[in-house]
Copies of this chain bind each other. A is one copy, B any other.
């Protein structure tokens, strides 16, 4: 499989993003949801913001209060060794809060926000710590966006839909915690919707890819594990679906991310039966893409290529990926 990184990479950097307001700073940009709309490509970029931290003060973070991101002082801190987390005596918070921003491009490389920016923030009890990592699938004439809803109650999978990228319907949580990396298949199979997701392991089990079906995208069942981590290989610690599976003549081609014990994230593929995707036909022994360039190896959380969407332009397939938790990149794929 030929994967060619674009010479303009990274195409969006955290440094180019303005915070929502002056009291905040952009902590990182991450893993965009991707979609085609006629001749344009849209990205739903996850922007993580943190309060500008006054020196010598108690740590602060952002938490939604009455649906408004609010700078909040964190009490009883016990551990801040992971720059993403603040552990306290009563629970764990995030150092930053993420929201979504819509970017458009006509060439797949140069992206900008529309004149009237579309920005989506967390809402309600299950998104008080923000919303993360959109994955977008068009089914019929509607775009469905799965994403990670984060709150004191846990980390779960939520669903939003739109037909115009201006108004959005929020469908609530479709999978209970602790779960993320949910992608929908682009069509019904034998009368049911399909999704892939990544329940978080705990003692027994691990961070594996599961598949489920639904009659209506809201109620999900028939949960089965289709891929586990592989000790000794590049995907030994964590795996998760990258974006919607691509229908090919040989079956559904799924790109997935895999991390090893050194937290190096690479990309592999799994081939699923066209008519019964629970049936795994093949899985790549070696990664099809690994962190190679400086912008993939350095940064806040280095050695990461984390694809989260693909779109098409002039019959070329463009895969978008977050890298080092601080930039967004694009590569062309010959499938």
Contact = CB atoms under 8 A, between A and B. Distances in A.
A228 B153 contact: yes
Contact of A215 (B94, B155, B219): B219
A206 interface: yes
A91 interface: yes
A94 B176 contact: no
A104 interface: no
Interface stretch (A41-49, A196-204, A266-274): A196-204
Contacts of A220: 219-221
A283 to B, nearest CB: 16
A174 interface: yes
Contact of A199 (B90, B174, B178, B197): B178
Nearest to A220: B219
Interface residues of A, number: 50
A303 to B, nearest CB: 21
A204 B86 CA distance: 10
Nearest to A156: B223
A52 interface: no
A78 interface: no
A74 to B, nearest CB: 14
Interface in A77-101: 85, 89-94
A154 B227 CA distance: 12
A222 B94 contact: no
Interface in A166-205: 172-179, 197, 199-205
Contacts of A205: 151-155, 177-178
A223 B175 contact: yes
Given A94-B204, A206-B91, A221-B219, A177 B155 contact: no
A215 to B, nearest CB: 6
B199 A176 contact: yes
A125 B89 CA distance: 39
A326 interface: no
A143 B222 CA distance: 20
Nearest to A84: B203
B178 A175 contact: no
Please give me the 10 A-B residue pairs with the lowest Cβ-Cβ distance, nearest first.
Answer: A154-B205, A219-B219, A219-B221, A153-B225, A176-B223, A178-B202, A173-B223, A218-B221, A90-B231, A200-B202
Given A154-B199, A154-B206, A173-B222, 12 more contacts: A91-B206, A94-B204, A152-B205, A155-B202, A172-B222, A173-B223, A176-B179, A176-B197, A178-B178, A178-B199, A178-B200, A215-B215
